[in-house]
Amino acid sequence: MLSGDSLWGIWIKANLLKKKNFWEVNVNTQAGSWMWRKMLKLREIAKSYYKIEVGNGRSTSFWFDNWSDKGILYELLGEGGIIAMGITKDASVAEAVVSTRRSRRHHRMVVFQEVEIELSKVAERLNDSAEDISLWRRATGFKAQFSTKETWKLIRVVYPQNNWARSIWFSNATPKYAFMSWLATLNRLSTMDRVGKWSQGVDEICVLCKNAGETRNHLFFDCSFSSQIWSYLMRGILGHSYTTDWNEVLELLGSTDRDKKKVFCFRYAFQASIHMIWRERNKIKHGEKPLPIAVVKKVLDKGVRNKLSLMRFKGGKGLEGMLQYWFTTRV
């Protein structure tokens, strides 16, 4: 499984495997880095995505590699199988063929007989000039070329795409803004209503307005503090569609019936406002003095303008004149 041609593979074999097979290393070992130990724990998943096509059999472990139609033989037969078959634990497939030719045993258990028969068939196919080939599971079956993309598609759990996904993950978004917006959309921010569920007795009142319990929907944008920021940024963009209701805002964000300039400014300002409101909220929670709301508005406006100015140099179809459009929305 580990390429002997790469420096990493050579180092791993010399320092961590120490003549053992990757599949037999103790999962509770303290050797190696955190990443190495994590790889060992994921072997159970990896086993079903990897097998070997035997060529000369010299680099394939008889007991621990998945070369047999019966799967990994050590898992099938255990330590008792090593004794019963007389094949050493570190034997390759080629060495196992030689061993059985020298001293064929008569087994009472059918499973041992079947393994012997399969080994005989492999012996007939051994080719000294052909290397053993690692095969990786893909959507169309096992292939010699590994694909990270296809492997990820096979192991991931697929869920229907949310209609708000494109309004969170879009080209030219600021990563920290997008991440914060993603958490807010999933309702995973530590708002006080959520904190109160695992910490009894906490004050759940919104620290920004002190007039209602702090929930995600209140904070964005029913709160008297955040609603002023939202109104400043969005009234000129949304016009008659303007709303402070979280669910209605998400529905508008997912719509594609507006021109690209308007869509980008709406989505970017949405994410910037969430980031800023959450930052000011956290300042108060940690005993710091928040910015005056007038300053918050100016900081957000300047941040959006700086982003749009930067994008003027990048260009993009349908995105010309975005900065000018932004200025027209300032009311």
DSSP secondary structure string for all residues of 261-306:
HHHHHHHHHHHHHHHHHHHHHHHHHTTPPPPPHHHHHHHHHHHHHH
Same domain for 206 and 69, yes or no, is no
Residue 228: is its pLDDT beyond 90? Answer: yes
Residue 98: is its pLDDT beyond 90? Answer: no
Same domain for 308 and 247, yes or no, is yes
Question: Which residues on neighbouring strands pair with residue 174, listed in sequence order?
Answer: none
- pLDDT score recorded for residue 194: 93
| DSSP state, residue 163 | T
DSSP readout, 47-102? HTTEEEE-SSSSSSBTTTSS-BTTB-HHHHHHHHHHHHHT--TT-BHHHHHHHHHH
pLDDT digits (tens, 9 = 90+) for 162-212: 888 888 999 899 999 999 999 999 999 999 999 998 888 888 999 999 999
Same domain for 175 and 322, yes or no, is yes
Same domain for 116 and 230, yes or no, is no
Same domain for 52 and 190, yes or no, is no
Residue 316: is its pLDDT beyond 80? Answer: no
Query: Model pTM?
Result: 0.63
**Which amino acid would we find at residue 12?**
I
Is 318 part of any domain?
yes
Q: Tell me which long-range contacts 150-155 makes (C-beta under 8 A, separation of at least 24).
A: 151/49, 154/49, 155/45, 155/49
Q: For 122-149, what is the mean pLDDT? A: 88
pLDDT digits (tens, 9 = 90+) for 36-53: 889 888 888 888 898 989
The strands making up 50-53's β-sheet, listed across from edge to edge, are 50-53, 133-138, 141-143
- pLDDT score recorded for residue 317: 64
Residue 311: is its pLDDT beyond 60? Answer: yes
Q: For 105-125, what is the mean pLDDT? A: 82
Taking alpha carbons only, the member of 97, 103, 102, 156 closest to residue 127 is 97
Q: For 240-259, what is the mean pLDDT? A: 88
Residue 315: is its pLDDT beyond 80? Answer: no
Domain count, the chain: 2
Residue 254: is its pLDDT beyond 60? Answer: yes
- CA 95/CA 126 separation, integer angstroms: 12
Same domain for 141 and 173, yes or no, is no
Domain of residue 112: give its range.
Answer: 48-155
Question: Which residues on neighbouring strands pair with residue 138, listed in sequence order?
Answer: 141
Same domain for 79 and 137, yes or no, is yes
Name the token pair of 284: 């108060």
| Backbone angles phi and psi of 134, in degrees to 5 | -80, 130
Q: Which of 118, 136, 155 is the last residue of a domain?
A: 155
